[in-house]
């Protein structure tokens, strides 16, 4: 460790790296054509967020039968709680480095299903 470098700075770097790994795992899984057979019919794919999206708390967009649903990807409960505090309308999922592809699929679908159900109910009431 460099002399004079605060420990919290190193912790922040580790947290950022963990977050980046979590985001990559989700995006790579859903972009992999071989995994499409695992998706429900209503899930068409995924789009990466833009820089502008990211500043609004969106890491990726799920393309569904009701439109685009945003998702925030975190690697810790603290990160999830902070994200929900800043952007309570955006679903958040916690992804760990050792999560299997099946676990990633289940966690993401569970998170976006709430928004999808909301949009479906809204359509029925219009």
pLDDT digits (tens, 9 = 90+) for 92-107: 999 999 999 999 999 9
What's 90's DSSP letter?
A: S
Give the pTM: 0.83
Report the distance separating Cα 122 and Cα 102, nearest Å: 30
Residue 46: name the closest of 30, 70, 69, 35 by CA.
30
Reduce the DSSP state of residue 67 to 3 states and report it.
Answer: strand
Structure tokens belonging to residue 54: 């990211």
pLDDT band, very low/low/confident/very high, at 122 (cuts 50, 70, 90):
confident
Query: Could you report the per-residue pLDDT of 15-55, keeping only the tens digit for each?
Result: 666 667 899 999 999 999 999 999 999 999 999 999 999 99
Average pLDDT, the chain: 89
Question: Quick one: tokens of 25?
Answer: 């795992």
* Cα gap 23→16, rounded to integer Å: 11
């Amino acid at each position: 460790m460099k002399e004079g470098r605060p420990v919290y700075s190193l912790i922040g770097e580790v947290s950022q790296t963990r977050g980046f790994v979590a985001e990559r795992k989700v995006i790579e899984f859903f972009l992999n054509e071989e995994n499409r057979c695992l998706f429900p019919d209503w899930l068409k794919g995924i789009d990466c967020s833009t820089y502008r999206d990211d500043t609004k708390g969106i890491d990726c967009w799920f393309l569904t039968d009701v439109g685009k649903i945003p998702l925030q990807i975190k690697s810790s409960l603290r990160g999830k709680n902070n994200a929900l505090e800043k952007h309570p309308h955006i679903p958040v999922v916690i992804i760990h480095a050792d999560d299997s592809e099946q676990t990633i699929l289940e966690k993401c679908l569970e998170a976006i299903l709430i928004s999808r159900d909301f949009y479906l109910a809204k359509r029925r009431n219009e």
